[in-house]
């Protein structure tokens, strides 16, 4: 029996719905054949955009979508993707294929309108110019008779769009230019200056942050941009700082198979996912030194599982299958984001369709919702709720060996998030253990009634289909929510906070 306490009358920070965001890159079949099939396709579409994909993403309440990359962003020149005369380009980063730029700015913003969500556009710092990025912002968001607004109107869009989230490059430490942190910090200041607010549109500029545990990058960027010597503040140049961390098997070089793994591989994987908690905590500590009021958000805009490419596929298309293991990685990672709600303002799973830990997979006219899709569907009620921290008395753990000099990890086998919004309490819990677990959550400081609960699991960790069913193992007794969780499972319980 594991016990924990939740104080219903002590709500914490807001869990931004943007933590449940997604990512669509020009990579493999994410855009073409995934999101975009062209207006002449027999697959039902709206101006080329697949309607079944739109509906499936709306079902999970997609709050934002990042585009056009990823690494592709720093090879992308936005003028190639507007108007009627669009040049072909070579996508040398992902599969060395030629694409025709038929999906560009207007098509992406039409997708955003269909999804009723918010765009997150990543600009080109690596091979672009300050002028190019500045003009893209103007093209999208300016409403008067400026040169870029006239160009937009000539391409069929009269009114400007609202684009809040704007990335200042991607992975500038790697595919985005192989830059030193000192050099990129200066560029972040420069590009941030010329990515201007137009009309009522207020940009939330996201600077390229660290790769995994590169704390020196965060230190350099925050210290350089944070000490301007001109009365300016860090948030005048950027409002967010990104972080990338992928989950794989033993190492980056030995990512492992998506479906062929043993028990040790499973625990190594979820321990790697759990590392996200340490990364966010340590990067946040550095950010706190220069931004103690937390005006700058941490944006985990690439995360998810990354396995060896599916045999027989183009290795540059990053095709992988999913099992129950991927779903548990997703549920634990979302719990980590929720727990760090004071600093983590947005996150983006890689990627939305057909690539890496996709929520959707297409095959011709067939659309499949992956195990990860179901986690997002069950989790969406946490968005914009107030965090109610879970105080564990003691959790079962498992010692997981690590590669290289890193010490073994004492992996907690139980995880949970609790939020309250509009008089309703949502409890989500993950059991990573290979055995059933009994969890008692003592809900103090208020009275609640249990409305129902759902269970996600499968008969085996290797199963590529999960079941989501009503859960009879949840009960409320004397203010204690009792969860009798099966092995390797995810549970969501909904309660009403009584007046």
Specify the CATH class of 17-383 in words: alpha beta
pTM, full prediction: 0.96
* CATH classification code of 388-498: 2.60.40.1180
**Long-range pairs for 90-93: beta carbons < 8 A, 24 or more residues apart:** 91/26, 91/27, 93/27, 93/175, 93/316
**What residue ranges of the chain are covered by domains with CATH 2.60.40.1180?**
388-498
Choose the catalytic residue: 33, 171, 345, 377: 171
Among 25, 118, 302, 377, which one carries the catalytic annotation? 302
What is the 8-class DSSP label of residue 2?
E
For the chain, list residues with pLDDT below 50: 227-231, 234
- Residue 451 has which token pair? 């409305």
Q: What sections of 230-310 are H helices per DSSP?
A: 263-290
Q: Give the per-residue pLDDT at 221.
A: 94
Residue 374's φ and ψ, nearest 5 degrees, are -65, -35
Alpha helices by DSSP H, listed for 426-494, are none
* DSSP characters over 84-148: S----EEETTTTSEEE---S-HHHHHHHHHHHT-EEEEEE--SSS-HHHHHHHHHHHH--SS-HH
442 is annotated as an active-site residue: no
Q: Is residue 464 among the annotated active site residues? A: no
Identify the pLDDT of residue 230. 46
pLDDT of residue 250: 86
Compute the distance between CA of residue 203 and CA of residue 167 in angstroms, rounded to an integer: 10
For 341-488, list the strands marked E by DSSP: 344-350, 360-363, 366-369, 385-387, 390-392, 397-400, 409-412, 414-421, 424-431, 437-444, 447-457, 467-470, 474-477, 480-485
What is the per-residue pLDDT for 402? 85
> CB of 70 within 8 A of CB of 373?
no
CA 395 – CA 412 distance, rounded (Å): 6
Segments of the chain assigned to CATH 3.20.20.80: 17-383
Judge whether 106 and 156 are in contact, CB under 8 Å. Answer: yes
pLDDT of residue 499: 74
Structure tokens at 299: 């944006």
């Amino acid at each position: 029996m594991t016990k924990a306490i939740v104080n219903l009358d002590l709500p914490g920070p807001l869990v931004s719905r943007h933590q449940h965001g997604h990512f669509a890159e020009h990579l493999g079949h994410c855009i073409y054949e995934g999101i975009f099939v062209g207006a002449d396709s027999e697959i039902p579409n709206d101006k080329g955009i697949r309607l079944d994909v739109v509906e499936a993403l709306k079902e999970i309440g997609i709050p934002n979508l990042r585009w056009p990359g990823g690494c592709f962003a720093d090879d992308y020149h936005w003028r190639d993707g507007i108007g009627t005369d669009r040049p072909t380009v070579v996508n040398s980063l992902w599969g060395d294929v030629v694409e025709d730029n038929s999906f560009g700015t207007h098509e992406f913003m039409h997708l955003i309108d269909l999804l009723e969500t918010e765009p997150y556009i990543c600009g080109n710092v690596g091979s672009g110019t300050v002028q190019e990025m500045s003009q893209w912002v103007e093209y999208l968001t300016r409403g008067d008779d400026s040169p870029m607004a006239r160009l937009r109107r000539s391409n069929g869009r009269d009114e400007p769009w609202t684009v809040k989230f704007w990335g200042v490059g991607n992975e500038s430490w790697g595919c985005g230019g192989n830059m030193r942190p000192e050099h990129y910090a200066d560029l972040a200041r420069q590009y941030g200056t010329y990515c201007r607010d137009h009309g009522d549109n207020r940009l939330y500029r996201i600077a390229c942050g660290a790769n995994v545990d590169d704390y020196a990058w965060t230190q350099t960027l925050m210290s350089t941009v944070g000490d301007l010597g001109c009365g300016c503040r860090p948030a005048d140049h950027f409002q967010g700082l990104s972080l990338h961390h992928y989950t794989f098997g033993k190492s980056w070089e030995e990512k492992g198979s998506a479906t062929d793994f043993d028990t040790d591989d499973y625990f190594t994987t979820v321990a790697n996912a759990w590392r996200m908690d340490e990364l966010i905590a340590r990067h946040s500590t550095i950010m706190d030194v220069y931004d103690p009021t937390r005006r700058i958000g941490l944006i985990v805009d690439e995360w998810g599982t990354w396995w060896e490419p599916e045999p027989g596929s183009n290795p540059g298309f990053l095709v992988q299958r999913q099992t129950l293991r991927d779903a548990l990685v997703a549920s634990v990672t979302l719990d980590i984001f929720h727990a760090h709600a004071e600093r983590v303002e947005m996150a983006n799973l890689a990627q939305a369709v057909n690539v890496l830990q996709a929520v959707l997979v297409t095959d011709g006219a067939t659309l499949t919702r992956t195990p990860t899709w179901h986690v997002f569907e069950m989790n969406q009620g946490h968005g914009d709720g107030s965090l109610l921290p879970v105080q564990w008395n003691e959790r079962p753990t498992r010692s997981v060996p690590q590669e290289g000099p890193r010490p073994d990890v004492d992996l907690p086998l139980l995880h949970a998030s609790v939020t309250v919004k509009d008089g309703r309490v949502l409890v989500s819990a993950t059991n990573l253990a290979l055995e059933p677990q009994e969890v008692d959550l003592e809900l103090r400081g208020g009275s609640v009634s249990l409305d129902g609960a759902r269970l996600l699991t499968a008969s085996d960790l290797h199963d590529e289909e999960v079941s989501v069913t009503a859960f009879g193992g949840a009960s409320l007794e004397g203010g204690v929510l009792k969860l009798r969780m099966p092995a390797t499972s995810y549970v969501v319980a909904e309660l009403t906070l009584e007046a």
